[in-house]
Amino acid sequence: MNSKKVSKAEQPLSLMIPIYVVCILLAVLSIAPFWIMIINATRSTTQIQAHAISFIPGNALMNNLEKIQDKDMFKPLVGFANSALISVGVTVLALYFSSLTAYALTAYEWKLRESFFSMIMGVMMIPSTVTTIGFYQACYRLGLDNNRLMLILPAIASPMMVFFMRQYLQASLQISIVESARIDGAKELQIFNKIILPIMKPALATQAIFTFVSSWNNFFMPLVLLTKSEKYTMPIMVRLLNGDSYKTEYGCVYLGLSMTVLPLILVYMFLSKYIVAGVALGGVKG
C-alpha cells in the first residue's frame, strides 16, 4: 500500500520534468542570441571573423567603444533621443485613440457600427509596405518628408490595436457602469478618461509594450522619411556603422546593436508581467 501511494505521489513530478526541460530549452534558445550579441560587443573584428559564435567575453570592449566614438555619423545620444521621442509619441497616440475607437464600437449603438468594424478588419489585411510610396509622396508634397511628426501622427489609426481593445472591452465592460455615469451627469469624455481607461489598464500596458518595441525597432519608414543626420533614430545610427565598403568593424556593430536593444530589455524586465495578464484578460469573455 505504501509503495502504491509513493508511486502516485511521484507520478505528477515525472510528468512535470519534461515540461520543465522544454521550458528551460526554450528559455536558453531565446536568451542565446542576446547573449552572443553582447559577448561579440566585447570582441574584436578578427575574433568574430574567426569564431562568430562565442559564449566567453573578449577584451576589446573599450577598443570598440573608442572606434564608435570616432565615427562622425554615429551619435548614440541623438539616436536615443529621436527614438524615444518617436516611440513615446507613437505609443501614447495609438493607445488613446485606439481605445477611444474601441469604446465607440462597444458602448454605442449606431447604424454603421458593424460595417465600420468590418472596414477596420479589412485595413488590417493590407501590408504597410503597399502604402509606403503614396505616404511618402503625400509627405513630400506637403513639405513634411523630413519631419519626425510624420512618423508619429499615423499611429492615431492603428487597426490591430483597435481590434484588440474592442475584444477586451467586450469581455470586461459593463454598459450599466456607463449608463450610471451618464445619469450622474458625467460627459462622454469624462466617462472615457475616468472610468473606461482605468478598466483597460492591463490591455493598455500590454499594447504599450508591443507598440513601443515595434516603433523603437522601426527602420524602414525613418530611413525613407528622414534625411538629416540629427534626426536619425537608433536603428539608422547602427546601420551607419556597417556602411564602410572597405572594412566593417563587426565589434562596433555588435556594440551598437547592444546599445539599441538595452532599453527594450529594460522595458521587458519591468513590464513583462502585464503581457500575460493583459492577453489572458482580453481573451476571456465573461
pLDDT for 29-49, tens place per residue?
A: 988 888 888 898 888 888 888
In contact, 101 and 213? CB cutoff 8 Å: no
In contact, 277 and 46? CB cutoff 8 Å: no
* Amino acid present at 51: H
Dist. CA 29–CA 14, nearest whole Å: 24
As given in the structure block, the three cell numbers for residue 138 are: 503625400
- Alpha helices by DSSP H, listed for 142-249, are 149-152, 159-172, 175-183, 188-191, 197-199, 201-217, 220-225, 234-241
HEC profile for 33-81? HHHHHHHHCCCCHHHHHHCCCCCCCCCCHHHHHHHHHHCCCCCHHHHHH
Diameter of the chain measured on Cα atoms: 85
pLDDT for 84-135, tens place per residue?
A: 999 999 999 999 999 999 998 888 888 888 888 888 888 888 887 788 888 8
pLDDT for res 98: 92
Confidence check: pLDDT of 196 > 80: yes
Q: Where are the domains of the chain?
A: 16-64+251-268, 76-242
Mean pLDDT of the chain: 82
Residue with cell 489609426: 157
pTM of the predicted model as reported, rounded to 2 decimal places: 0.79
As given in the structure block, the three cell numbers for residue 113 are: 457600427
Give the number of other CB atoms < 10 A from CB of residue 237.
Answer: 24
Strand (E) or helix (H) holding 264: helix 250-271
pLDDT for res 245: 47
Q: What is the mean pLDDT of residues 220-232?
A: 86
How far is the CA of 64 from the CAs of 37, 77, 100, 103, 229, in angstroms?
14, 17, 47, 50, 22
Q: What is the mean pLDDT of residues 154-172?
A: 87
Sign of the torsion angle spanned by Cα atoms 243, 246, 252, 254:
positive
pLDDT for res 97: 93
Model confidence at 8, pLDDT cuts 50, 70, 90, reads very low
User: CATH for 76-242, among 3.60.20.10, 3.40.50.620, 3.40.50.300, 1.10.3720.10?
Assistant: 1.10.3720.10
